[in-house]
Amino acid sequence: MFISRLTLYKMFYPYPKNVSLEMEQERILRELGEAVINFDDDLARRLAREVIDLGIDPVEALEEGLAKALREVGDRFGSGEAFITELIAAAQAMEAGAEILNEEIARRGATRKSIGRFLIGTVEGDIHSIGKNIVTTMLRASGFEVVDLGVDVPTGVFVEKVREFKPDILGLSALMTTTMTKQREVIEALRESGLRQGVKVVVGGAPVTEEWVKEIGADACGLDAGIAVQVALSLIGREPNA
């Protein structure tokens, strides 16, 4: 007979009479959010392990605890109430807990409900990753399935992966004026391969402007991580901040 870890835990460590499982779950979800907001990687990991030990749904812990808090920090950054360093630290705390929860989700054979697939990478010749990584984490927090190709990605690989993964959106990051021309090259290669009509293209990076978007035939640009997420939501017909 199968006995869940939660049942075993309650047998050996019964809750006080005034503490219910629901209250304990609410506490953990709240503290997961506080770990992200307070940039506490270690606390996020500890609470994620507690989620597993108590048999709490790891998908709910990820979405209602970690991801929800990161979205709040992202909103504060977008309104000028938080610095980029705070957004980076919050994203790192979320990833610390999410790594443990995602392993448990995979072990259970469960899945998170995805609102869309986003393929992202830094173009060839460019090895900058911080901005891309923040966007990736925030997209996941917003419900996207994200395939991260990494940095210094050749144009041909972008084309190959668009064909393989069939993403709703392709994100092309370039942090230097010398590499941003690769964004144009990827879009042209997609067009030549007959794939351009099937995917929205968002470009990002310090040198990117709205004028550049129009010049190269992209669909939109993400001037910062918060805007990138809002743009992605809009492109798939979702209300930003919904």
What digits encode the pLDDT tens for the residues 190-236? 999 999 999 999 999 989 999 999 999 999 999 888 889 999 999 99
239 φψ region: left (φ > 0), alpha (ψ -120 to 50), beta (else):
beta
Q: Which amino acid is at 146?
A: V
**Could you confirm whether domain 5-108 is CATH 1.10.1240.10?**
yes
Q: How many residues does the chain have?
A: 242
pLDDT of residue 168: 98
Q: Which residues contact 212 (CB under 8 A, 6 or more apart)?
A: 180, 183, 203, 218, 221
In the block, tokens 């779950």 appear at 25
Phi, psi angle pair for 62, to nearest 5°: -70, -45
What digits encode the pLDDT tens for the residues 35-94? 999 999 999 999 999 999 989 999 899 989 999 999 999 889 888 899 989 999 999 999
Quote helix, strand, coil % in the chain, to nearest 5. 60, 10, 30
Residue range 116-235 forms a domain whose CATH class is: alpha beta
What digits encode the pLDDT tens for the residues 126-135? 999 888 999 9
Domain spans, the chain: 5-108, 116-235
Predicted confidence band at 24 (pLDDT cuts at 50, 70, 90)?
confident
